Each structure stands twice: as C-alpha cells, then as structure tokens.
Chain A
C-alpha cells in the first residue's frame, strides 16, 4: 500500500501521508480503494490543492522542487548520453540503417524522466495552470508511447516534443523567460532528430535545456502561478 501512497507528489505526502497511512491501517484498502488512490495521485500532481501556510510551506515545497530539479538534470543527462551513443553506432551495411538497441532505450528513459520532472515542476515551481497540467499529461503519455512499437513510437515522440514546446512556453511566461525559451526552441529543433546521421547530436542542446530547467527548480523562490 505504501507504494501507492508514494505516487503522490512529495509536498502532498508531507502534508497528508501520516493521516492517510493511519486511515489505511484502520480500513484495509479494497481494489476499488487502490484504484481510487491512483486516481487521487494523478489528480494531486495535476491539480495541487495544498493549503499555503508560510511557516510549513517552505520545506514541502523545497522537497518537491528538489525532486523536480534532480529529475530534470538526470533526464537532460540521459538525452545527451543517448544522442552521443546513437551517433557512435555504425550503420549496419546489410540492413542499411543503425541498430540503435540499448541507446534508443536511453532516450526512452530520458523522455520518461524529463516528463516526470515536468510533472513535479508543475506541482512546485509552476502551479495552478490547467495548461501546465495538460502539457505534462501529454508529455507523460507521449513518453510512454515511445516504448511501444512503430508507429505508436513516432506518435509518442511527436506528442512528447509538442508538449515540451508548450511546457517551455509556459515556463518562459511564468518562471524563467530564458530557460523556458531555450527548452521550447530546443524541442522545436528536436523535430529534426534523426538516428542515422549527425542530427542525432540534436539531443545534446535539448538535454542541456533540461539541465538548465533543473537549475531553476533548486532556487528557493516561491512557487509562481502560470496564466
């Protein structure tokens, strides 16, 4: 059961974890309760409803931003590593294309981790925007689809990229103009990504943009509300 509770955002857990665990100890959850908890966790990420209490808000908010920042930096690093790894793979002469294999999996992991970072950012650095919720949801779904076979993989990739452009624009408008713009532009350029040639290196500026985005999550500035 604790695994399901861990699906909730860190700030939410800081506020409600004790009493929710106590409740679940009194009332062992049914399958329906478990599904309800999963639905509640998704809602908590997309629509943070925490009461703002100056004396208590700082620590939970910072733990949430810390998670977002670490995930963004790791995700950005995975993008860079994946791009470099794919660039280094030689083309298979008999097939006429590269067998990307494990390197492609690094990029799938990069998409999932950065989507999680965006979700955490949406609950900490940028709060209260429905557009943020929609962007991170599409980003997450797109990232998950890239783990599927063709053509879902391509659909997922472009959904992820378009949602990242939107997310970058929201960050630019509400948290950091420079970093948000950098992410949006890098995501637009990523539409030219190709595993077969030098364009695999386009993953590098995109990864750097995520690392830069991670840096704003570490700031101890209060959460801002997107339009």
Chain B
C-alpha cells in the first residue's frame, strides 16, 4: 500500500475498503462491515473498523453525518474521493503490470 495509506500501518487495507464502501453513498458502521465482507469475503473486526474510521476522519477523508438514533453514517469527502481515485489508479497499474508479466512468463 502506498502513501497516504502507508502511514496507516495495519489500518491501511481496511481504510481502503472503507473508502470503497462509502464511494456509492453514506453508510453507518454495520453497513460498512457488511459491505466490506461482501466485497472482500473477509470480515472486518469492530475494533479495526473504528480504528480505521477514526484515522480516516482525522485525515479529512471521510466525515461523520448527524446520527440516526444511535447509528452515525459516514460519507466520503472530496479529499477522500480524490485519494481513493489515486489509490485505485495506482493499484490498477500494479495489477496490469503483474498480469502483463505473468502473461509474458507463460508464453
């Protein structure tokens, strides 16, 4: 994982999942967990989820909305969308390079 996610340590990967989850609209914690689990097949622990949410909020990549009962939805900020787009573009390039090399090796 590259900057700015690299500084997030073990929260880098969960943070990326959360940003992707929020990219199609605001969600509260449980909805994010469910969405991430559907996307990745791996559950996101509650301690990891809130550790990552706190870091993303601190960095201005997401923002908390007014609570609905006890649930507080989060949404992607403009900075968060830009960061996510850059991160996904980087990963896309990485995947393409990997597939090209793999294809070349097989030939």
The binding surface of chain B is classed by DSSP as helix
Most chain B Cβ neighbours within 10 Å, of A22, A32, A50: A22
- Which stretch in A23-31, A180-188, A192-200 binds the other chain? A23-31
* Contact across chains for A16 and B54 when beta carbons are under 8 A apart: yes
Query: A8 vs B47: C-alpha distance in the bound complex, in angstroms?
Result: 10
B47 touching A38, Cβ below 8 Å: yes
B70 sits at the interface (CB 8 A): yes
Q: How far is the CA of A185 from the CA of B48 in the complex (A)?
A: 39
Stretch at the interface among B26-34, B76-84, B88-96, B98-106: B26-34
> How would residues 1 to 44 of chain A score, 1 for a CB under 8 Å from any chain B CB and 0 otherwise?
00000000000100010111111101101001101111111011
Given contacts A18-B67, A22-B70, A49 and B58 within 8 Å (CB-CB): yes
Please report the C-alpha to C-alpha distance between residue A29 and residue B48 in the assembled complex, in whole angstroms: 13
Given contacts A49-B58, A51-B58, are A19 and B28 in contact (CB under 8 A)? yes
On whether A21 and B30 interact (CB within 8 A), knowing A32-B45, A36-B45, A38-B47, the answer reads no
B46 touches A19 (CB 8 A): no
The smallest beta-carbon distance between B97 and chain A, in angstroms, is 33
Q: Contact check: which of A12, A27, A35, A37 meets B33 at CB < 8 Å?
A: A27
Known A19-B71, A51-B57: A26·B30 in contact at CB below 8 Å: yes
Residues in chain B near residue A44, CB distance under 8 A? 51, 54
User: Do A36 and B46 touch (CB < 8 A)?
Assistant: yes
Q: Which residues of B contact A23 (CB under 8 A)?
A: 28-30, 33, 46, 49
CB distance from B100 to the nearest CB of A (A): 37
Closest chain B residue, CB of each to CB of A44: B51
Closest beta carbon of chain B to A70's beta carbon, Å: 25
Contact residues, A129-160 vs B (CB, 8 A): none
Which A residues touch B49, using CB under 8 A?
23
CB <8 Å contact, B67 and A41:
no
Assess the B72–A40 pair: CB atoms within 8 A.
no
Q: Is B54 touching A49 in the complex (CB atoms < 8 A)?
A: yes
Assess the A33–B69 pair: CB atoms within 8 A: no
Among the listed A26, A38, A40, which residue makes an inter-chain contact with B50, where contact means beta carbons less than 8 Å apart?
A40
**Are the CB atoms of A22 and B54 closer together than 8 Å?**
no
Closest to A16 in B: B50
Q: Which residue of B lies closest to A29 (CB)?
A: B46
Q: Looking at the assembled complex, report how far the CB atom of A36 sits from the nearest CB atom of chain B, in whole angstroms.
A: 3
The chain B residues found within 8 Å of chain A, CB to CB, are: 28-30, 33, 43, 45-51, 53-55, 57-58, 64, 67, 69-72
Nearest 3 CB-CB pairings of A with B: A40-B47, A36-B45, A49-B54
9 A-B contacts (beta carbon < 8 Å): A22-B70, A23-B29, A23-B30, A27-B46, A32-B45, A33-B46, A36-B47, A37-B46, A50-B58
